[in-house]
Structure 1
Amino acid sequence: MGEKQPNERLTSWFVRSGWSKGELARQVNRRARQTGAHHVSTDTSRVRRWLDGEQPREPIPKILSELFSERFGSVVTVEDLGLRAVVPVTGAGEVDLPWSGAQTVQLISEYSRSDLMLNRRGFLGTSLALTAGSALIEPMQRWLAPGPSGTPTPILTAANGGEPHTGRLSGPELALLEQTTVMFRQWDAHNGGGLRRKAVVGQLHEVTDLLQETYPQETTRRLFRLTAELAHLAGWMSYDVGMHPSAQKYYVLALHAAKEAGDRPFGALILSDMSRQMIHLNRGEDALELIHLAQYGSRDTASPRTAALLYSMEARAYANLGEVNKCHRAARLAEDTFSDVRTGETEPDWITFFSEAELNAENAHSYRDLAYHSSRSPLYASMAAPVMERAVDLFRVDETHRRSYAFNLIGMASVHLLQEEPEAAAGLAHQAVDIAGKVRSERLNTRIRKTTDAALRRYPSVAEVQHLSDRITTALPEYAAAG
């Protein structure tokens, strides 16, 4: 058995915290008692062993993540600490929710309030588990089911009935709320999910308060659509900072709100991001089920841009599973369908992000992933290279999607590694690190670290790779801690 290596990441955070080993041990024990983990008993010698490379058992990694995050005022994930990042998987309890308007409002209100008030630093997700497999897919299939006898949902019926309307929200105020959601999306694309996540959750909670009142039916539908968009954005931002169970919870709640709004194309977008999360977690079968559900549910309502997005995500899922022919077919369908997008056509703001740059990025990553899963790696790397390069070129001139530019820089770096070009890979990764210092995206930081680790394993003697590794060891933790 190999000798344990010192945990340099944990050591870096520990040194900058200013705590002693004894103080950290006492804080771990205190937090464990607060959460009911009375079996945890830590001392200074145990902390020393963690720093020396020992992997603590659950729930200690989660506790350490919470303690360091509170110390530095931003999310410090288990992976940031050099510990094993394990996302617990459970049954359907967190996602098998009642499909009714009134209960959807109540659940979103309660969850967003808990996120804001009980977990002020954003740790609600650590108390949840990720739902996967049939326990996830079967409840999501109910998104397709019509209401009882095809009638409107109870909350909409009440709003449109003989009761007096109690809501005082004016048309201009509602339009301003919708514009604010657009602004939140722009912030996220430019600055990452960590910067405004709590602001989005707060806005979501305020909108659910508005839905406690009664309005004309069209106003109520708009409010449900707004609720769905905010809940989806809260889920996306949670995903971006590594809070996977919390992200999934918001996605599920967003899907419920989209159903109440009668907006199937937006529901398909939510399912596509749930699929993306499953790909990230290497659950390709779940990703494929979710994207097929999105395609089926929006087959008569999706615009060419939305349909192209869904095909591109289908290709990503097939690539994750190593399904070469099906991946190629879905990628071609994405390209063919995107060619039907008409310049200047008015579309909802939530789908405008899927540009030619995004199309190239998704298909390039599909080909790159095929290289990971196939013995014909050089072939698929050569297929990925020009498509990824096109995505990089397009994002370079798009100042509104800075995080996407960084993702494709590091994606291009991974392709160069497949092509045995470590110097070129390191150069692109340095550019991605430059951007990572300006955004708050743990997802981006993780991608950069993984690509750098892969480069260092294969090319430990290449000076450019060693320089990159040295830079990331000190740079990314500093960026993650920035307020």
Structure 2
Amino acid sequence: MSGNGAGGTAADKRPNELLGSWFLRSGWSKGELARQVNRRARQLGANHISTDTSRVRRWLDGENPREPIPKILAELFSERFGCVVAVEDLGLRPTHQAPSVAGVDLPWTGPQTVALLSEFSRSDLMLARRGFLGSSLALAAGPALIEPMQRWLVPAPGSSLAPAAEQPPGGSRRGGRLSAPELELLESTTVMFRQWDAQCGGGLRRKAVVGQLHEVTDLLQESQPAATARRLFKVAAELAELAGWMSYDVGLQPTAQKYFVLALHAAKEAGDRPLGSYVLSSMSRQMIHLGRPEDALELVHLAQYGSRDCASPRTQAMLYAMEARAYAGMGQPGKCKRAVRMSEDTFEDVLDLSEPEPDWIRFFSRAELHGENAHSYRDLAYVAGRSPTYASLAEPVMATAVELFGQDPEHQRSYALNLVGMATVHLLRREPEQGARLAGEALTLAGKIRSERVNTRIRRTVDTALRDFGEVAEVAELTERLALHLPETAAAL
């Protein structure tokens, strides 16, 4: 008997209509799906899996396969459709496991946070091949994601949000304590990594960031004073968030989510609620990208609630902008417009330059504000059936973002993304020539950075232009350029 046994009895079985619907829309044959399951199982080290056409037919007829097949199916359909497809969305029953490095429902304690950061970063460095990190591949969504993240706000026993005693947070190792200059160097290195990411995309320096994160977890396993431990946890949180952001940028979505979750745990240990809200905003962006605006809204509301009394105006403005993006994806124009206005009004309070701000929020400039709000209007246009009204609202705001980013050599990826955004606005307004021109500028820029996110958005925009305006000469020329200069390839690490 193979390792694909059913999880239910014969009496339980009835045709799985949900799985059948996803399968039909995928365009795969039963044999092709079986081959993909076997291939992914081998990549996970599950060599006992041997699926065939008849087994796929039995799943469609109502058989519930054992793990890791439900997770594998969810991953395959998620990749096929470009959105999160949970195990439950396929009409399958997941196997509930105890919290471990594989999931997102992790213990909120300092020593375990350090151990999990160390284990996951080491696995990434040693084993990651296209992001396959064993069973951690499964993306969490819905209550399985939101409920564990809500525990960010629960105070840890014996402290507010961070270790109070001068004990080694990681537990067992002993070593020399970190000097002040060494700690400052770690903090400045994190700033440098963030600058590289903005300029060059996530593909060039991701492994360097993961390596630095692993080194910091080693330091956290040594005996450090409480104040030093807090600063190290903050560095770990920023590096883990950046590793997640870079993973997201190159298309490694489950890996990105796991780093974000670990970053939130480290931010809690650092006692830094604004930083935690920033991590949650990154998770929200990922959910918007993956077609889960409801999850995105839950995450950003959690971020707003958790930092309501300590976040700077710039951070609050960023969170309002993310709230608008989520409402736009949900097709709620009134709430979206209100959040856009709140982001704009709050950003006007970013005036006192003498007040220092953490480096992680400095990216949210006036250009970024306009870019996010323009994308909210653009998304409303798509949700409302290509509404010209919302496209007209998006155009001047996006034009300002493109102009401002065009003057900023340090944020080339954001410039490329907003060029693509402007191209989509012109396509919505049925102006294919302008859309093709801007997408062509983004394509030129894409050759200078390493961002699968930029590449994917260019491909989707060109595909839309080709479908709707294939007869236009500029669109046909752009399609040829795309095939020549940006062929479909695996995400670079």
Q: TM-score range by the shorter chain?
A: 0.7 to 0.9
One-letter code aligned to 1:205: H
Change in 2 beyond 3 A, CA 1:126/1:439: farther
One-letter code aligned to 1:473: A
Deviation at 1:36, TM superposition (A): 2.2
- Distance in 2 separating the partners of 1:453 and 1:459: 10
Q: Which residue of 2 aligns with 1:440?
A: 450
TM-score normalised by the chain length of structure 1: 0.82
One-letter code aligned to 2:209: V
User: Residues 158 and 164 of structure 2 are in contact (CA less than 8 Å); yes or no, is this contact kept in structure 1?
Assistant: no
Q: Which residue of 2 aligns with 1:36?
A: 47
* Aligned 1:84-103 pairs, distance under 5 A: 85=82, 87=84, 89=86, 94-103=103-112
User: Residues 367 and 404 of structure 2 are in contact (CA less than 8 Å); yes or no, is this contact kept in structure 1?
Assistant: yes
Gaps of 5+ in 1: 1-6, 8-23, 43-57, 67-77
Deviations 1:104-133 (A, max 9, x none): 000000000011112266432785110011
- Distance in 2 separating the partners of 1:172 and 1:34: 44
Change in 2 beyond 3 A, CA 1:156/1:251: farther
* Aligned 1:309-458 pairs, distance under 5 A: 309-342=318-351, 344-345=353-354, 346-374=356-384, 377-458=387-468
- Distance in 2 separating the partners of 1:384 and 1:33: 43
Change in 2 beyond 3 A, CA 1:123/1:33: closer
TM-score normalised by the chain length of structure 2: 0.80
Change in 2 beyond 3 A, CA 1:335/1:254: same
Deviations 1:56-79 (A, max 9, x none): xx98xx99x99xxxxxxxxxxx97
User: Residues 268 and 294 of structure 1 are in contact (CA less than 8 Å); yes or no, is this contact kept in structure 2?
Assistant: yes
Q: Secondary structure at the match of 1:89?
A: coil
**Matched pairs, number:** 428
Change in 2 beyond 3 A, CA 1:164/1:128: closer
Deviation at 1:89, TM superposition (A): 2.9
Does residue 104 (structure 1) correspond to residue 113 (structure 2)? The answer is yes
Q: Secondary structure at the match of 1:158?
A: coil
- Distance in 1 separating the partners of 2:164 and 2:147: 25
Q: Secondary structure at the match of 1:439?
A: coil
- Distance in 2 separating the partners of 1:31 and 1:149: 45
User: Residues 29 and 40 of structure 1 are in contact (CA less than 8 Å); yes or no, is this contact kept in structure 2?
Assistant: no
Deviation at 1:374, TM superposition (A): 1.6
Deviation at 1:151, TM superposition (A): 5.6
Q: Which residue of 1 aligns with 2:484?
A: 474
Q: Which residue of 2 aligns with 1:293?
A: 302
User: Residues 190 and 400 of structure 1 are in contact (CA less than 8 Å); yes or no, is this contact kept in structure 2?
Assistant: yes
- Distance in 1 separating the partners of 2:179 and 2:387: 58
Does residue 118 (structure 1) correspond to residue 115 (structure 2)? The answer is no
Q: Which residue of 1 aligns with 2:216?
A: 207
Q: Secondary structure at the match of 2:181?
A: helix
One-letter code aligned to 1:39: S
Gaps of 5+ in 2: 1-26, 28-34, 54-67, 88-93
- Distance in 1 separating the partners of 2:423 and 2:204: 26
- Distance in 1 separating the partners of 2:44 and 2:353: 59
- Distance in 2 separating the partners of 1:329 and 1:125: 43
Q: Which residue of 1 aligns with 2:193?
A: 184
User: Residues 318 and 326 of structure 1 are in contact (CA less than 8 Å); yes or no, is this contact kept in structure 2?
Assistant: yes
- Distance in 2 separating the partners of 1:157 and 1:100: 15
Determine which of 150, 154, 173 is the counterpart of 1:145: 154
* Aligned-residue RMSD, C-alpha: 3.1
Larger proportion of helix? 1
User: Residues 167 and 210 of structure 1 are in contact (CA less than 8 Å); yes or no, is this contact kept in structure 2?
Assistant: no
Deviation at 1:255, TM superposition (A): 0.1
Change in 2 beyond 3 A, CA 1:439/1:40: farther
Q: Which moved more, 1:91-100 or 1:129-138?
A: 91-100
Deviation at 1:150, TM superposition (A): 3.9
User: Residues 221 and 260 of structure 1 are in contact (CA less than 8 Å); yes or no, is this contact kept in structure 2?
Assistant: yes
Q: Secondary structure at the match of 1:314?
A: helix
Deviation at 1:147, TM superposition (A): 1.6
